[in-house]
Amino acid sequence: MAQAGEIKFIVDSNVGKLAKWLRMMGYDSLFFHSIDDARMIDIALAEGRVILTKDTQIMRRRVITSKRLKAVLVHDDDPAQQLHQVVKELNLDCQFRPFSRCLECNQPLMPKDREEVRDLVPLYVFQTQSQYMQCPTCHRVYWRGTHWQAMSRQLSELTTGASG
């Protein structure tokens, strides 16, 4: 089973929602905004990333057909089904790791003391939460609130395939 840290992704813009879900699971997932396929392939090769795409053209490239570069052709339009396919095909460990990567910019999060984030979070959060993580790039602060719990539930449903 592939754990976070053992496999990295580059997520094509046509399956962009996958990036956030994979980051929630702790996987390094670069979102590729451009439509320049050659550039995406260069990055994937240079950084050892698996390509996730809906683009059948990319799958026909020699670098992919020769297995020099791994790519997964995503079939479904529904992000939930897309995630389910990727998890199954690559045998991913679906543990939810909400405190590992920034959902917005994919940076590994840094632990912060409660006092350090005092002015950055709502008062009720400060009063009720003791563990915080912060993104070194965008400075967004994360904590285990109800929002995370809801996403965690949704993710476990998605990865086990319980939600159609």
Find the shortest distance in angstroms from Cβ 117 to Zn ion: 14
Find the shortest distance in angstroms from Cβ 132 to Zn ion: 14
Spatial separation of the C-alpha atoms in residues 61 and 42, rounded to whole Å: 13
Spatial separation of the C-alpha atoms in residues 54 and 43, rounded to whole Å: 18
Residue among 12, 17, 21 nearest 151 (CA): 21
Question: Cα 17 vs. chain centroid, distance in angstroms?
Answer: 9
Closer by beta carbon to Zn ion, 24 or else 87: 24
Find the shortest distance in angstroms from Cβ 16 to Zn ion: 16
Closer by beta carbon to Zn ion, 58 or else 102: 102
Interacting residues with Zn ion (CB under 5 A) = 102, 104-105, 135, 137-138
Closer by beta carbon to Zn ion, 40 or else 102: 102
